[in-house]
Amino acid sequence: EIVLTQSPDFQSVTPKEKVTITCRASQSIGSSLHWYQQKPDQSPKLLIKYASQSISGVPSRFSGSGSGTDFTLTINSLEAEDAAAYYCHQSSSLPLTFGGGTKVEIK
Amino acid sequence: QLQLQESGPGLVKPSETLSLTCTVSGGSISSSSYYWGWIRQPPGKGLEWIGSIYYSGSTYYNPSLKSRVTISVDTSKNQFSLKLSSVTAADTAVYYCARGAVAAHIDYWGQGTLVTVSS
């Protein structure tokens, strides 16, 4: 099973600040890494697919990078509506797995 | 626009079987490009993949739950279902049904349904 380790677990950030969340895979997964945003009492929403590919309708301040075992989700110029939990997810091999999540709070 | 909706009991007794159904609307469940899966999230915790079923009928389960899980599909009703047997309090969670592209991302999620295991 591929273990995804996210860091940090929690981040408190002021609006307009830049946020960086990392996801490390226990073995190489190429670019089969996807990012989701989950707001309270909502289902997850796809933000980035295949490590760096943008999703229609997702604000351009969200971007992803990385390959192999190390990946990053960046939120440029954080907005109040970005308060949420963020999860990485690998589809390289079964069982499908998720990172433990990063909760982003707005100061 | 594809929509997924979970349905089933919100309360299940310990040792009994949890049964949920996901109804898909706005698209066919028979598409060969996708799988249909279940994911759960205990209160205040992260996401756990339970298993998936493909258009061919092939199923894949999380090894940690494999002995207790059955996922099936009813193409005539455009639905797929989850059965989880011998439940305990540790199975209390929000259960999501979802569609994923094969070997790729999950692009559609249901709204989720909370299932509580309690006597």
Using the beta-carbon criterion (under 8 Å), do B49 and A98 form an inter-chain contact? yes
Report DSSP state, residue A96.
P
Q: Do B49 and A97 make contact, defined as CB atoms within 8 angstroms?
A: yes
DSSP state of B55: T
Question: What element of type H or E holds B114?
Answer: strand B113-117
End-to-end CA distance of chain B: 39
- Each residue's pLDDT, cut to its tens digit, for chain B (119 residues) gives 999 999 999 999 999 999 999 999 999 898 888 999 999 999 999 999 999 998 788 999 999 999 999 999 999 999 999 999 999 999 999 999 999 988 889 999 999 999 999 99
pLDDT of residue B103: 81
Pairing of strands A102-106, A97-98: unpaired
Amino acid in position B80: F
Residue A9: phi and psi, rounded to 5, are: -75, -30
Which pLDDT does position B102 carry in this prediction?
81
Mean pLDDT of chain A: 97
The verdict on A68 touching B (C-beta cutoff 8 Å) is no
Give bridge partners of residue A100 from the DSSP assignment: none
Cβ within 8 Å, pair A89-B47:
yes
Residues whose CB is less than 8 angstroms from the CB of residue A27 and which lie 6 or more positions away in sequence, other chains included: A2, A69
Give the model's pLDDT for residue B31: 81
How many residues are present in chain A? 107
For A11-43, the pLDDT digits (tens) are 999 999 999 999 999 999 999 999 999 999 999
How far is it, in rounded angstroms, from Cα B107 to Cα B23? 16
Residue in chain B nearest A100 by alpha carbon: B46
How many Cβ pairs closer than 8 A exist between chain A and B? Answer: 55
Per DSSP, the three-state class of A100 is: coil
11-50 of A, contacting B, C-beta below 8 A: 32, 34, 36, 42-46, 49-50
The reported pLDDT for the residue numbered A24 is 98
Searching chain A, which residue's CA lies closest to the CA of residue B40?
A43
Cβ pair B104:A36 closer than 8 A:
no
CA dist., res. B118 & res. B39, Å (int): 20
Helix (H, G, I), strand (E, B) or coil at A82: helix
d(CA A58, CA B107): 13
Token digits of residue B88:
């305990």
Instruction: Looking at the complex, report in whole angstroms how far the Cα of residue B41 sits from the nearest Cα belonging to chain A.
Output: 10
- Rounded to an integer, what distance in angstroms lies between the CA atom of residue A7 and that of residue A30? 20
Judged by a CB distance cut-off of 8 A, whether residue B112 touches chain A is: yes
Nearest-neighbour CA in chain A from B5: distance (Å): 12
A interface test, pick of B47, B50, B95, B97 with most A CB neighbours within 10 Å = B47
Contacts of A1 in chain B (CB under 8 A): 63
Task: Output Rg (C-alpha) for chain A, integer angstroms.
Answer: 13
